[in-house]
Structure formats: structure tokens, C-alpha cells
Structure 1
Amino acid sequence: MVLKIDSFPVGDLQANCTIVYDDESKEALIVDPGGDIPTILEKVKGLGLKVKQIYLTHGHFDHIDMTGQLEKDLGVKTSIHPADVPIYEKSPQLMMMMLRSRAPLPTMPPVATHKEGDIFKVGPHEGRVIHTPGHSPGGTCLLFDGILIAGDTLFRGNVGRTDLPGGSWETLVDSIKNKLFVLPDDTRVICGHGSDTTIGYEKRRSPIL
């Protein structure tokens, strides 16, 4: 039984949606679906996946857009860290402001919550929640064996922005140094935007050092 990862950009801001699945049981978890539901559903159907849940690394609109519709299409629930629930609920306003749109504001559906140390299972594989505030108060990463789905906490050669409501540069640096840089250097990092990296590469190249 092998853990499979399919990560691809979605939406206007090209946030990475990641589908984590077990190649034998076909159980799957969708992380940060963004706004491209047709592509996600096509991949789910093509791979014959049984999606168990939607997981949000944080509450910014480019990672959560259309989550409610995807819940209905797949018959699953969504979870996010409780500290980001207010950001999740207000994400449509932020989206309209940043895109300078006057379209009607959608209402975000209720979400479940996850916290530091919670476990998400995909077949026999376990993903552990790591709370990494800084980009947002409730930002989290999901660590499977040797694979870190980092959301907007850590990018290749860069880190998440901290100038949005609830962001903190000092908190982000602390999260990265004390929670992510303690992981093995060969840990693969799937970033919320852009290409993958590794913990070892970021230890050598990250501007926070």
C-alpha cells in the first residue's frame, strides 16, 4: 500500500490543491480545494477515489473557494483550525476586496475543526496536524511519512506573507524554525503555491535564516 500525492494549481491565484490517497483502498483526503471543482471531481472520478474529508490549511479565499459546493458534490465535511474560523467565514469579503469585485457575497458553510496533533487517516497512512501560525492564526501543516503539506507557511526559497489580518512575522519564523526545521532534511514539502521543496533546501536557502 503506497501513499500517493496529486498536487496541482487551481483558481485565479494558482493555489495548490493536493489530493492524498492510498493506492489500494483508494481512500482520499483533499487539501485546499480552491476554486476549480470540475478538475478536482474529474481527478477523483478518474482515479476511483473515495474522498473521506476536505482539509483546509488555513482560511484564505484562494485555498477555500467553492468548498461548500465540493462538500455537497462529494458528500463530505471540511475541517480547519479553530483560530482560522473567523478568517474562513470572512474570506468572501477579502476576496471581493482584493479582486475589486461587486459580485454577491457567498455564505461559507459551517466547518469542523482540527488542532495540533490530530490524526487524519488515508487507508493505513496517518497524517498529523502541525499548528504553524504566522501566515494566519490558525495556519496548519499536515505531515504524512516524509511528506509535509505546508499550505502558505513555507514556500520554495520563501515563506508566507504576514501582512494580512492575523499575520505575524515573528510568529511565522518561530513556527518554521521550531516546528518544521526539526523535521528530517529529506522531508518533501508540498507548498501552497509554486513548486515543491525539501526541509533541507529551505534550511540552507530560506531568508529567515
Structure 2
Amino acid sequence: MKHITVPVGELSTNCYIVWDETAKKGIVIDPGAEGDRIINEIKKLDLSIEYVVFTHFHFDHVLGYYDIKKYFPTLIPLVSEKEEPALFDPSRSLLMYANEGFEKLSGYKTLCEGDEISFGNEKLRVIETPGHTEGSICLYREGILFSGDTLFSGSVGRWDFPGGSFKDEIMSVKNKLFTLPDNTLVFPGHGESTSIGYEKKHNSIVNSI
């Protein structure tokens, strides 16, 4: 499995392009803005994109999707089943903070705990991690975790937005993410990459509870 990070938008959201190098099939995780730029990176890699996966449905993880969908009309958007209310509620998707246009998401499929997203011969497993939002998810395969806004380097995602819960956030990190092997590399929705082992030792927010 290969991946690159494309920081996008005013909030520097980490969009990830992840692919099977042999099959040249891939997915896009959290295309928060600058869809044309993400498309250019996909074209450079000569990839076929099968899915766009939203770790949660906040505007800064979503708005680049619509341009990508126009370029790859057969791709399917994937979102947690528990995140569906945010698809139709601007207060939950935080659209009041967005400076770009928004269209209703259509043709999507929903994800639940343990579901696998396959592209080529690669797979990522869904881990439900409520806290930042009710329907936040992370994506995992051995050695790699795409953590969305659940776990950051030295911190966690905000929990004070609609649908957020500090208690759920900490429980998600401690009871799910911190049970992964210490050498698991963590690629978050914002900021630098880290590892599970490092965060278990040094994440002051999680360790304060």
C-alpha cells in the first residue's frame, strides 16, 4: 500500500491518496478543499479512484469531493452510518464556516465498525471512533492508521462542535486506538504524523484522564 499526503484548504486538512501500486487503484480520504489540486496529484500517479472516504462530515474534510466526483463520475463516497445526520444538517457539517459552495451528497454508501474498504489487493478496516463527531471513523491496516480528527500528534480533535463528546473521544482513543500495536504509524486529519506508541506515552490530553 502506498499513500501521499496533500494538505489542502485554509485549515491545512491532510487529504490522503492511498493506492495499490500493482493495480493502480486507489481511494481518497478527506478531500477537504482544492479538488483540482487533488485531481492533478491523482493524474500524476495514473490512478483509478474507486472511493472517497470521509472520516467525518465536516466541511474542511468534504468540499474538495465535488470536483473529484466530476472527474471520476463512477466513484462512490463512503461515510459512517452514524454520520448520516450531518449530511443533511448544516450545523453538524459546520457549513457556516465554509467559504465554498456545498451540494448534497448523493449516491453514497455507509460504513460500520469492522467494514473493509477494498481497492485492488489492498484493504482498510473501519474503526468507529465517536467523539469529535458521533460518526467519526478511523481507517486501519497493519502498521498504518488514518485517524481523521480523532487523534492528533500530542492532542485529540475538538469535541465542542454539535455531536461531539469529550468522554467519547477519550474512550475511543484509549479503548480502540491505543489497543493497536505501538509501531502503528498514525496519519491524522491535521498536523504531523505520529505513532500509537508515542501517543500512549506523550499525549497529555488522553493521559490526563
Change in Cα spacing, 1:93 to 1:131, as seen in structure 2 (3 Å) is closer
Partner in structure 2 of residue 202 of structure 1: 199
Partner in structure 2 of residue 11 of structure 1: 9
Residues 116 and 129 of structure 1 are in contact (CA less than 8 Å); yes or no, is this contact kept in structure 2?
Answer: yes
Residues 87 and 93 of structure 2 are in contact (CA less than 8 Å); yes or no, is this contact kept in structure 1?
Answer: no
Q: 1:156 aligns with which of 139, 153, 157?
A: 153
Shift in Å, 1:24: 1.2
Shift in Å, 1:98: 2.7
Partner in structure 2 of residue 180 of structure 1: 177
Change in Cα spacing, 1:124 to 1:94, as seen in structure 2 (3 Å) is closer
Residues 89 and 107 of structure 1 are in contact (CA less than 8 Å); yes or no, is this contact kept in structure 2?
Answer: no
Tell me the distance in 2 between the aligned counterparts of 1:91 and 1:33. Answer: 18
Tell me the distance in 2 between the aligned counterparts of 1:194 and 1:202. Answer: 14
Displacement over 2 Å in runs of 4+: 88-99
Tell me the distance in 2 between the aligned counterparts of 1:77 and 1:108. Answer: 14
User: Percent same amino acid at aligned positions?
Assistant: 39
Partner in structure 2 of residue 135 of structure 1: 132
- What does 1:41-190 align with in structure 2 at a 5 Å threshold? 41-75=39-73, 76-91=75-90, 95-98=94-97, 106-110=102-106, 111-190=108-187
Number of aligned residue pairs: give it. 204
**Amino acid of the structure 2 residue aligned with 1:208:** V
Higher mean alpha-carbon deviation, 82-91 vs 187-196, is at 82-91
Q: What is the RMSD computed on CA atoms of the aligned residues?
A: 1.7
Shift in Å, 1:86: 1.8
Determine helix, strand or coil for the equivalent of 2:113. Answer: coil
Shift in Å, 1:115: 0.8
Tell me the distance in 2 between the aligned counterparts of 1:92 and 1:27. Answer: 35
What TM-score, normalized by structure 2, do the two folds share? 0.92
Shift in Å, 1:29: 0.7
Determine helix, strand or coil for the equivalent of 1:174. Answer: helix
**Amino acid of the structure 2 residue aligned with 1:89:** F
Higher mean alpha-carbon deviation, 68-77 vs 127-136, is at 68-77
**Amino acid of the structure 1 residue aligned with 2:154:** G
Determine helix, strand or coil for the equivalent of 1:208. Answer: helix
Tell me the distance in 1 between the aligned counterparts of 2:4 and 2:188. Answer: 12
Determine helix, strand or coil for the equivalent of 2:176. Answer: helix
Tell me the distance in 2 between the aligned counterparts of 1:90 and 1:173. Answer: 25
Instruction: State the Cα deviation string for residues 146-180 of structure 1 (Å, max 9, x = none).
Output: 10000000000000100000000001111101110
Residues 60 and 88 of structure 1 are in contact (CA less than 8 Å); yes or no, is this contact kept in structure 2?
Answer: no
Residues 153 and 159 of structure 1 are in contact (CA less than 8 Å); yes or no, is this contact kept in structure 2?
Answer: yes
What TM-score, normalized by structure 1, do the two folds share? 0.92
Shift in Å, 1:39: 1.2
Tell me the distance in 2 between the aligned counterparts of 1:91 and 1:193. Answer: 22
Shift in Å, 1:123: 2.0
Which consecutive residues of structure 1, in runs of 5 or more, have no partner in the other structure? none
